[in-house]
A and B are shown apart, each in its own frame.
Chain A
């Protein structure tokens, strides 16, 4: 134990692996000192576990109807009650974790690299490339995101895949701005000039030397944005434009419960708690990560 720790904290690491593992270890330790960040990390861990082991956690099938057990209030048999088709709401919320996780991962995987690349190219080349790309970015940035996503879904047609595409299209500009700002700070640095003198191509410099330096601020920003992405996806589901029934998507479940809100409050209320907890988890972890990875911004909020 003691040797593993000293190996991780070694001031002169012998390999790249040791250096990066050591850095992760130091960050994890700093993160653990922030109680809200720990809560956030635990919430997201729960989300991962729930999504992975949904069939073992959920006591009932998420789609199995039981019309004899319609709209039952929360009880020992049905922790969150049942919906209008007699489906167990807790089981549906558990399976819904998979959909939420899929949305979050796909949006991050599409939007972050796209924004990263556009921002890095704009910052690295400068001049008219920069002006063109950033002009485009600014137009998208000054647009209301939810409305734009709605219009894109209207054009593409309702469905969870199209909702993900629409959210990704509206989320990349913020990442492009950050990547550009980061790139500008070390664009004229000696190590870039040295790499260029060694004969590296522009593409290689951007991908191998510029992008890795942008990732830490990108991770912070993506984590902080996740709450907004979950809310937008749930909103699209609520309006009937996202996930389609019978998929147990949390926003769509709230939409189904809307009719019964005055008498059977649990149908709409329970999935909402799931959304709030997961979004709060991302907010907490994002705040903590920012304090660790981006100390300049740390004290501000």
Chain B
């Protein structure tokens, strides 16, 4: 078995102590001049954004501002919607993912996603977690067992489910289901984790657990999270992008955005004057 860890090799300088010193981190995503249309509707307008390794990037904005559309473009889930057209570039690790020669399956193996509503498969907890490894050809039972334990620990749900791994995932509570979905996503050790309003369907305690997890996980993964909850963005993210009507109004350090926004519209939004 190969023992190297690819990403560590790419950026050996990154360690826990470096998180936060933005200048040193490597770029995961570079979006330039991205435009997106749903039929005639111009949903994303000239987006330019860079996302960094081992950071949490939050995307905030009112409903319909395009934040969800944007995050779904990052793993090309947007293509499931018929009649979508894009122009511009999104570079993931220096390769343009909007190029149709980029296989979506390869991209999504690198970039995991956690959805708005918990969506475990109607299978056992174990089967949910091994789904990804299995479809990608990993069949060794011992390795799968290890992956399950590691992933469930990574999503802080191991202790709650370790005695009932073979029970149906639908027996879990909403918050547990969402953490299971996170574990399922961790099982293939993605590079980036996209989270599309992952706590919007959860109660406050479950939300808190997910937020703590995000903090923990960013040591190993790069996380991009869409949220309609500004406090959440302020609590957990390193950088924040504010979207409005399909445009990026402002993008900078989370501290700056929340304490000293550049744009009047950002200030209006975060002080609750609209949205």
- Do A and B share a complex? no
